[in-house]
């Protein structure tokens, strides 16, 4: 607990391009959390290298992600927005916690199986121990809450198990984190296959709207979005494509699904799809301008990175010192 506020921790990987789903499902909801919580949001670049990265592109994407956090509305003064790889305590605690994690626990991780199937030519140890590094990320900041979706539930559970195991041996070292289930973000599905989530790694570029897509691209993707032969615009399980577009429209405009259905009652897809694109562009265009402004001001962005990295190191090292002492490492002479 910092300044009487509970701590909330989250982050995104510096791989691929963020989608509208990442924004509406998570990032948009992060913006006001600092009013209630002390928030740490990482650019998770250590996690990103389980997949081979082209170094120059990787550096650019990581910087772009941090700039996009700010452009999307995360205040870098009220939130700690930092690079995971700039805080060496992540890697050190990750190794220590590896020694308190059982193979059987890691063997049960479904995300490892999914990722190993996707990257069968590069099934590395980092991919296998990924949940342990994630546990270190969370536990370093004595996090009370972690926003979790279904796909991260297992990772939170193993984090809690590792923390409880460590605490049972050495006393009250780590805060046991809980899932944060606040206001539900919009569940945004692929525009081409509404049975799947909109994803950074979708092989069909028309399936995802990326946060840096220009207005013409957004309009084209919305017009190509899969719907059905029945032209009625209503939210229903038997109309997944239309329901997805209604979810997007409602999330971007702030209207309820019912209000959105009423607005397009009696209208066809020819009017509905461009209206969805217009609502999306109303969100993205100001974000693009702010993003460009931030990236151009190198001194401003470098200053934010330094200040936030320093803050993250301070809190992370506080926990790490306690852990080092508990496990019996020799003190570093000063």
pLDDT tens for the chain, residues 1 to 334: 556 899 999 999 988 789 999 999 889 889 989 889 999 999 999 999 988 899 999 999 999 999 999 999 999 999 999 999 999 999 999 999 999 999 999 988 887 777 767 767 778 888 889 999 999 999 999 999 999 876 678 889 999 999 999 999 999 999 999 999 876 667 899 999 999 999 888 889 899 999 999 999 999 999 999 998 888 999 999 999 999 999 999 999 999 999 999 999 999 999 999 999 999 999 999 999 999 999 999 999 999 999 999 999 999 999 999 999 999 999 888 7
What pLDDT, on the 0 to 100 scale, is given for residue 73?
Answer: 93
What pLDDT, on the 0 to 100 scale, is given for residue 122?
Answer: 73
> pTM, whole model, 2 decimals?
0.90
What pLDDT, on the 0 to 100 scale, is given for residue 3?
Answer: 65
Residues annotated catalytic, as ranges: 115, 197, 200
What pLDDT, on the 0 to 100 scale, is given for residue 127?
Answer: 84
What pLDDT, on the 0 to 100 scale, is given for residue 2?
Answer: 57
Cβ-contact 43, 64 below 8 angstroms: no
């Amino acid at each position: 607990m910092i300044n009487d506020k509970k701590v909330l921790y989250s982050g995104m990987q510096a791989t691929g391009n963020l989608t509208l789903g990442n924004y509406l499902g998570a990032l948009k909801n992060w913006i006001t959390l600092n009013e209630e919580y002390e928030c740490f949001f990482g650019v998770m670049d250590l996690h990103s290298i389980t997949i081979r990265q082209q170094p120059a592109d990787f550096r650019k994407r990581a910087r772009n992600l941090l700039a996009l956090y700010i452009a999307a509305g995360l205040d870098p003064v009220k939130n700690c927005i930092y690079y995971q790889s700039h805080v060496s305590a992540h890697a050190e605690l990750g190794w220590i916690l590896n020694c308190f994690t059982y193979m059987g626990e890691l063997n049960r991780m479904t995300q490892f199986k999914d990722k190993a199937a996707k990257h069968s030519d590069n099934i590395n140890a980092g991919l296998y121990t990924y949940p342990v590094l994630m546990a270190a990320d969370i536990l370093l900041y004595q996090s009370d809450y972690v926003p979790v979706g279904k796909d991260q539930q297992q990772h939170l559970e193993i984090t809690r198990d590792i923390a409880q195991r460590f605490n049972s041996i050495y006393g009250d070292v780590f805060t046991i984190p809980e899932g944060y289930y606040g206001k539900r973000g919009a569940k945004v599905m692929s525009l081409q296959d509404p049975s799947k989530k909109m994803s950074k790694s979708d092989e069909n570029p028309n399936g995802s709207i990326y946060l840096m897509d220009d207005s013409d691209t957004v309009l084209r993707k919305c017009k190509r979005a899969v719907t059905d032969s029945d032209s009625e615009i209503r939210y229903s399980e038997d109309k997944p494509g239309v329901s997805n577009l209604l979810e997007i429209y409602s999330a971007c405009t702030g209207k309820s699904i019912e209000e959105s259905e009423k607005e397009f009652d009696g209208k066809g897809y020819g009017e509905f799809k461009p209206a969805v694109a217009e609502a999306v562009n109303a969100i993205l265009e100001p974000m693009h301008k702010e993003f460009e402004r931030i990236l151009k001001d190198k001194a401003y962005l470098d200053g934010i990175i330094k200040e936030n990295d320093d803050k993250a190191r301070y809190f992370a090292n506080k926990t790490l010192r306690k852990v080092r002492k508990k496990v019996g490492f020799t003190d570093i002479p000063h």
